[in-house]
Structure formats: C-alpha cells, structure tokens
Amino acid sequence: MTSGEAGPDPGSAFVAPELPDSAALWLLRHGETEWSASGQHTSHTDVALTDAGERQAKALRSVVAELKPTLVLCSPRRRARDTAGLAGLHVDEIDDDLVEWDYGAFEGRTTAEIRKSIPDWTIWDSGVPGGETASQVGARADRVLARATSRLADGPVVLVGHGHFSRVLAARWIGLPVTAGARLLLGTAATSVLGAQYGTPLIVRWNIPNPAA
C-alpha cells in the first residue's frame, strides 16, 4: 500500500466474529538480528538472524512442540522465515501483510538518531516520511486478523512476524487503536497468545520470554 492510499481510521476497532473460548492466536516475533540488537528500525531490509537469534529460534521448539496449529502464516522476510523453520514450524503460506511497519526514510536509523532532528519522535504518533501511516498498518493488521479468525474454530493459528506489527495486531484484536501498541513491549523471539472469553477478544499471554533469553 502506498502512502496515498486510505486505510481505516486508526482509532476504529477490529471487529472479530463470535469466537470460541478455545481460540488461540499465537504471535511469534522473529529472533535477534544485528539491527534489532542495535535498535535500528528494520522493515524491508532483509537482515539475517544473529547466532543468538538462531539459538532463540531453536529454543521456541519447546514452546510450540505440542501446539499442532491449523494454520501458520509467516512474513516473507528472511528473519521471520528462518525463525519459523528453526522453531520446527511448517509454514502454510507466506503472507505479505505480515511484514513490519514500513519505516520509509527512517529505515536503518535508531530512535535516538531520529530524535536529534525530531525531538520526542515515536513511530506511533509522529509518522515517517515515505513510509506507512498508522491507518495503513492498521488495515494490514485487520486483514491478517480476519484471515486468522476464519480458522480459529479449527485449532490454533500461528503468525510469525515482527515487533511493531505484532504489537499492532494485539491492539487491534482487543478493540484498541493502532497507537495503543506503544504500550505493548515485545522482545525478540518472544511469544504471545490472543484468545477470547464469552466471545470477547482478549490477550491471554503477552511477551513470554524466549527460553534462550
């Protein structure tokens, strides 16, 4: 989606269908990369996992071994695909909607560097030149969630992706705006579980530390 295309109001809510209490939507963030370790914003740059990131990904095997997902969707980025493979997950389909927030001109830059020219900048409320708006990221998140919920009655669904985008997914899942993701910290190779109670979407577990951390 280009910066000129409209998306949903970032303050609107994702509307989930009626969900069983057994619904389990797993979010897996990719393992450590050199850029995640240094705090550089990484979207389309296809950086590899570090040795530590590979250890983190392998450690996820013990977390997902008994999961038996009905559907596994993965970002096309190498760091996500390698994380899924090392974790022992069979990826059913690569989903372009699972890519990280497009940081535009701020790709590869850290928040500290950006704040030298834009004090108090954050991705959540300041925007990025040449990148995605919150509305555009929210539109992608809503498409992913709609696709995932269509399969949740059959069993767990796993989404393997990225930090900021996974935080957006969680915010949208519980009916909050995209910007609420700012309050959901997520570590590398951490797992989270979204679910439901009496049909209401909720966060069951969040930012479960990686066993190799």
Of residues 57, 53, 60, the one with CA closest to residue 33:
53
Please work out, in degrees rounded to the nearest 5, the angle formed at the alpha carbon of residue 31 by the alpha carbons of 29 and 35. Answer: 105
Between CA 53 and CA 31 the distance in angstroms is 4
Of residues 134, 141, 182, the one with CA closest to residue 161:
141
Sign (positive or negative) of CA dihedral 93, 97, 100, 103: positive
Structure tokens at 172: 């949208």
Between CA 119 and CA 93 the distance in angstroms is 40
φ, ψ of residue 182 in degrees (nearest 5): -60, -25
CA distances from 13 to 1, 141, 202 (A): 20, 11, 13
Between CA 72 and CA 120 the distance in angstroms is 37
What are the residue numbers of the active site? 30, 100
Q: Which helix (H) or strand (E) holds 58?
A: helix 51-59
